[in-house]
Structure 1
Amino acid sequence: RRDMGKSVFADLRDETDRIQVYAQKNVLGDEAFARFAHLDLGDILGVEGELFTTRTGELTVKISSYTLVAKALRPPPEKWHGLQDIEARYRQRYLDLISHPEAGARFRQRSRIVRALRRFLDDRGFLEVETPMMQAIAGGAAAKPFVTHHDALGCDLYLRIAPELFLKRLLVGGFERVYEINRNFRNEGISRRHNPEFTMLEVYQAWGDFQTMMTLAEAMIPAVAQEVFGTLDIVHRAADGASEKVIHLAPPWERKTWRELLDHAVAPGFMDWPVEKKREKAQHLGLRDIKGFEDFEVANQVFEKVVQPTLIQPIFVTHLPKELVPLAKTSKEDPATVDVFELCINGVEIAPGYSEQNDPVEQRERLLAQVGHETQKLDEDFLVALEHGMPPAGGMGLGVDRLVMLLTGAESIRDVILFPQLKPLDDSLPPIRIPEPNL
């Protein structure tokens, strides 16, 4: 606001832009002008008046009347520096959106990304469905669930860790192309790449396999990038704004086996080493807390901590050990592996995809090996569904939050989730000052 005695210039802003307004004492009258002159930054106004252009060429509304729609009792972030504390930006996202236009732009881009994903799949005959978020058995992934209790049913339920087993039931029921953009919940760690509540796109196609899903991902992600950003070259910038790296999404994307990448990054024949030698090498590479890990677990830790961070350009990592993916089909070329891929971009797994296991006998054996003695975690209803016959299928889970990070250049998952999970604060905000009634 610029006060010039008998006239005041001020800026009004909405989510699209800002416009200057001009208030005059001789037009509004003494009382209304005095109130206007004492408005606070952040007050919400409605104005009426005529448009004109100032001598400097700025479009302006000459106010004939105004209404104070809502009074701001707390000041917004300081004008020039805004909300600088990173944690405060996450806790008070509304202030972050007010003071950082680029934050609002990123969340609008997120909305457009999700719309583009839907449009891509809808145009190819996939049916969007909804599956339960509260489940009697937490299945479809190896993760710790959140537990709740349903009083009327008298039983514990779990917030879903994945929708996979319900979507496969739909394949059994004859829905041949299905997808769900879903919220998953995992009671595990928080990091710049992990939030306990996150968004996934899961898609399944009957009569497909992991190759089908690779083709789908290789077409879908570039199509979304082109539609929303108008380019397939995604620039990630350093804190000072300089270009740090460019990720090229134009297909075709590279394909390498899990074993090939480990052999190249660690040592030739690494996967054939005995487990003790693997552990020694892993510790030499800086990995800790791997004592007691099984052979495939050690190798997976080495891959995730040593190999994956180097995979910047899009690459499909294929044929993982079968112990890591119990819901996928065994590879005919190498029975120790399964027909799966992990799509890695910018050092992060963006999407895993499978040739889905549809043999009920082998699926039962694999799930029993996974749950061990905790047979109550075995989803018998899912296995019964498989026994009715599920067609061969390909499936894929795409991390929507991570895709948004990739396409917008965000370095933390908290920058692409409007209200990320944070530890509650003990201290409350200071009391507000109640203004005089005439304000």
Structure 2
Amino acid sequence: MRVRQAKRDQLVAEGVTPYPVTVPTTHSLAQVRADWGHLAAGAESGAEVAVAGRVIFVRNTGKLCFATLQAGDGTQLQVMLSAAVVGADDLGRWKSLVDLGDHVFVRGEVIASRRGELSVMADSWRMASKALRPLPVLHKELSEEQRVRRRYVDLIVRPEARQMVRDRAAVTRAIREVMHARGYLEVETPTLQTVHGGANARPFITHLNAFDLPVTLRIALELHLKRAVVGGIDRVYEIGRIFRNEGIDSSHSPEFTMLEAYEAYGDQESMAELTRELVLAAADALGSRQVAHEQETIDLDAPWSWLPFYDGLSVALGENVSTSTGSDRLRELGKEHGLDLDDDFGPQKMAMELFEALVEPGLIQPTFVCDYPAIAQPLARPHRSSPGLIEAWDLIIGGTERATAFSELIDPQIQRQRLVEQSAAAAAGDEEAMAIDEDFLQALEQGAPPMGGLGLGIDRVMMLLTGAGIRETILFPFVRPQV
């Protein structure tokens, strides 16, 4: 870095800025390849271009130097500098001033080298941006930790990192196209909220100085989107950032991206149809509906199955269980399968813990797990035909939850009762329980139409389709600061 700093200072001393405002390019590297990629070895095009890029390879040999420039899209192009063309002085300055990682501007004729490599034979060059830090050694891979901490370097040296960014953009675009085609309106809802709700999660708490008021970062998009449906926006969605002050691991991040959608007069079944269409559109955007998995290939094109919650749990436990099964028996069954359940858990909570541990990991092919106990989702409607259950499902693919949906609870009296129960749980120390949101309850009292609601994790979809961990799919994930 001292050597590079000295070169930067030399440029300044010569009256040359090492960081010009811009450089007058005429073509991108990709355009040069598209227009003259057909040149035969040793051919000259007679066309002059001006290009710029980051130097990722350089070979300074005698009176003819070679370098490879790379553009942001990954396109690479060779440039050649000959003493006979640029002059001995300019070639000498190139050798003494240019390092790997620098951005340079080159003007010259497009040719093909004697070996057939498309090139620009420079007649002039200048520094476009002097890099003061060296690139990592290209033949030695960055560790996963360094990939995350210095994603900008990861993007420079690893094509897979740049492709992940493009893939995520393609998936998000495909999802938006499906929503638009179905008549949904995209909106934005508040990130700062006075009451956290819409999910069972621990919020981040901050302070709004202007009002001297404690506020939280949103843990879900749900409650404000439902307000929009009450107001007459019958099909509404948002793709937004969610913040949950919880654990961090290979599948969880404190901030992540969700699609939430709500449809007046829809239900859990219409949301299941929408979800399948969204996931298939995302898969098509990346080129295949067959997804590799460590246990078996996931066939997204095959029919997606439905699994009632207690049916799946009964099979896993080897005994019929239901909403009437008591805590003591569930605790015994848990011990038989190597699980110690908290004594404070009620029977529904115990059933949820058992299902998550014993059933979900084995659901590899797309499965809508449905007919949950009421404790699972305080915002879901009671089941129309099965007392004690709710109309809600989780989509499990590859042993991981990818989406969830409800036939939404719109009865303000039952919703108030549910939120009172949640508030009591919060007062008893449950940091994930929701608080009473009076404004939301007033919105329901205004008259909410029957509706279906959907939450689809964008990061979880990317993990499914690419096989990457969540820190790879998020461009700049949160990492613990280095001391």
TM-score with structure 1 setting the length: 0.92
Q: Specify which of 298, 320, 329 is matched with residue 247 of structure 1.
A: 298
- Residues 294-338 of structure 1: per-residue CA shift (max 9 Å, x gap): 111111111112211111110111110011111111112211100
Q: Specify which of 398, 406, 409 is matched with residue 346 of structure 1.
A: 398
CA 1:98–1:245 in 2, change beyond 3 Å: closer, same or farther?
farther
Q: What amino acid is aligned across from residue 128 of structure 2 in structure 1?
A: V
Q: Which runs of 4+ in 1 moved over 2 A?
A: 270-274, 283-291, 373-377
Inter-partner Cα distance in structure 2 for 1:359 and 1:193? 35
In the other structure, the counterpart of 1:261 is: 312
Structure 1's unaligned 5+ residue stretches are 239-243, 427-439
Shift of 1:280: 2.6
Higher alpha-carbon deviation: 47-56 or 155-164: 47-56
1:309 counterpart = 2:361: yes
In the other structure, the counterpart of 1:52 is: 111
1:204 counterpart = 2:262: yes
In the other structure, the counterpart of 2:131 is: 72
Q: What amino acid is aligned across from residue 118 of structure 2 in structure 1?
A: L
Inter-partner Cα distance in structure 1 for 2:479 and 2:425? 35
Q: What amino acid is aligned across from residue 99 of structure 2 in structure 1?
A: D
Inter-partner Cα distance in structure 2 for 1:323 and 1:150? 33
In the other structure, the counterpart of 1:10 is: 67
Q: What amino acid is aligned across from residue 299 of structure 2 in structure 1?
A: H
In the other structure, the counterpart of 2:210 is: 152
Q: Are the equivalent residues in 1 in contact too, given 2:407–2:453 (CA < 8 A)?
A: yes
CA 1:97–1:32 in 2, change beyond 3 Å: closer, same or farther?
same
Inter-partner Cα distance in structure 2 for 1:245 and 1:3? 51
Q: Are the equivalent residues in 2 in contact too, given 1:218–1:251 (CA < 8 A)?
A: no
Q: Which structure 2 residues correspond to residues 108-119 of structure 1 after superposition, within 5 A?
A: 108-119=166-177
- Residues 82-118 of structure 1: per-residue CA shift (max 9 Å, x gap): 32x2111101001111121111101110011111111
In the other structure, the counterpart of 1:415 is: 472
CA 1:362–1:15 in 2, change beyond 3 Å: closer, same or farther?
same
In the other structure, the counterpart of 2:4 is: none
Aligned residue pairs total 417
Q: Are the equivalent residues in 2 in contact too, given 1:12–1:18 (CA < 8 A)?
A: yes
Higher alpha-carbon deviation: 43-52 or 247-256: 247-256
Inter-partner Cα distance in structure 2 for 1:197 and 1:371? 24
Q: Which has the higher contact order (CA 8 A, sep 6+)?
A: 1
Q: Specify which of 140, 143, 149 is matched with residue 91 of structure 1.
A: 149
Shift of 1:57: 1.7
Structure 2's unaligned 5+ residue stretches are 1-57, 428-433
Inter-partner Cα distance in structure 2 for 1:60 and 1:254? 55
Inter-partner Cα distance in structure 2 for 1:373 and 1:19? 62
TM-score with structure 2 setting the length: 0.84
Q: What amino acid is aligned across from residue 88 of structure 2 in structure 1?
A: D
Q: What amino acid is aligned across from residue 180 of structure 1 in structure 2?
A: E
In the other structure, the counterpart of 1:433 is: none
Question: 2:393 is paired with a residue of what secondary structure?
Answer: strand
Inter-partner Cα distance in structure 1 for 2:127 and 2:341? 61
Shift of 1:37: 1.7
In the other structure, the counterpart of 2:419 is: 367
Q: Which structure 2 residues correspond to residues 285-364 of structure 1 after superposition, within 5 A?
A: 285-288=337-340, 290-364=342-416
In the other structure, the counterpart of 1:432 is: none
Inter-partner Cα distance in structure 2 for 1:353 and 1:64? 62
Inter-partner Cα distance in structure 1 for 2:355 and 2:249? 19
Inter-partner Cα distance in structure 1 for 2:392 and 2:409? 11
Shift of 1:225: 1.2
Shift of 1:251: 4.5
- Residues 49-92 of structure 1: per-residue CA shift (max 9 Å, x gap): 11111222211110111111111111101021132x21111010
Q: What amino acid is aligned across from residue 321 of structure 2 in structure 1?
A: F
Q: What amino acid is aligned across from residue 360 of structure 2 in structure 1?
A: Q
